[in-house]
Structure 1
Amino acid sequence: MCVLALAWKAHPRWHLVMAGNRDELHERPAAALARWAHPDHVIAGCDLKSGGTWAGVSERGRFTVVTNLRGYGALRPDRASRGTLVVDLLAGEGRYADPDQVAYDDFNPFNLIFADRDRAIFVSNRPGPIHSLLAPGLYGLSNGMLDEPWPKTLRLKERLLDWIVGGATQPGELLEALGDDRLPDAGLEPAGPSDIPQEPTASPIFIRNPVYGTRCSTIVAVDAEGRAEIVERRYAPDGQVSGETMFGFSWPSRRRG
């Protein structure tokens, strides 16, 4: 992901709501949101170049989303794919399956949010190892630090807050907010350059560009009973909608006793 807003235990119905956009080179191959064959409890898109994903859910009660980080120089090709970190956390197996034991040095700069029924955690490996439990509330994340006041991050948080306080109950309505291509005039522009030369220094929530732009919008919503849905809307290089997929799923009930 490149910009997202997260409501954690901040909505009267929805325990977790995440709305975010993935910006990427249009030529980079990707598979649409789907239930994976292995493991079959994971629902996510797939980066066909690295084999990982940028965001997804597991029917065993896990959610994970990752962003890269600006301003730390060129990527090191010998590092593990950040998408692999997401897959292992969703699967609950593999070298990177434990959100409390992240191998920070194995990866290029990243931000990550992991959540299950009981907690949400923010993890980053720059400027040093960060592992923070998130209190109930509203958060914004892009390619800087958590809640860094970049214009598009502030704008998306504002749109999510409007959705919550306006009494909305259908998460799919947030797709309209994710399509906002106006350049906000409030907030601080990123201090460092992107590691992707084609990425604009300052950008709206939705980037409409035939080379590097918004590839898909994703919404995840899980209610207090574990009933949930994930929606992905995909875009062509001209910014037009090229497809949309939705899955309903559920998380296991909390154990009692």
Structure 2
Amino acid sequence: MKTFIAENLSKNVGDRTLFHGANFLINEGDKIGLVGLNGSGKSSLLNSLVDSNELSGGEIKTPKEYKITYLKQQPELDLEKTVFEAVLDGDDDVFKLVNNYEKTLEEYNNDINNEKLKKRLFDLQEQMNNKNGWEIDTDVKTILTKLGITEFDKKIKNLSGGQQRRVALAQALITETDLLILDEPTNHLDYQAIKWLETYLTRLKNAVIFVTHDRYFLNQVATRIFEIEFEKLTEYSGNYEKYLQQNQKMKKFKQLL
């Protein structure tokens, strides 16, 4: 089992401390909801999980070749790529193969008498058979469709901000990773897309940590809650509803002290 270990993490912004002494583990399959008031340090914590240089103190330990995928609130997509190309915009050889196949298929459909294109397409089809390319191709189109994006050949620059956000989410979901970090994943999604995303995330084998203002989504997906409050990170087991119950009990106990 791959485990992400955080030891004594702290983050200061100027003379203000966002959090300090944060210790926690993230195991395979964990679905962690990160909660706290606006400005409490949620985004800073997410950033530090990707880049420990963002921290003011503490240490992060991960196994070798531990991969983290981060969906930020503002998409970072190549505006000149098509939707399909953007989703598979990575160094993975299979991603490159699938993109190449789709591009060649489009070229061949526009010039079906071109023997060179026909041969290239045949060669790519053989590679797709051997390298699980068809499954990736289908998964990308399914995820995009479930998120409400159906024009796969449209350029990113011609999409609205909300559509670009959904493409970035699809890119994060299709990427093979150990830890998936999602900052407000339900933004710009309709009810059906949110319900689909709930099911998709709960079935994922890898770990997920996410921030959302959608309390119902948080309750449905989270198996653990991390709360940042008064410069401290506190961990609660269970979903959001159980967190509220535990949090209330803790506050009553403190009042009795």
Quick check: TM above 0.5?
no
- Structure number with bigger Rg: 2
Please state which structure has a larger fraction of its residues in strand: 1
**Higher relative contact order (CA closer than 8 Å, sequence separation 6+):** 2
- Structure 1-normalised TM-score? 0.26
- Structure 2-normalised TM-score? 0.26
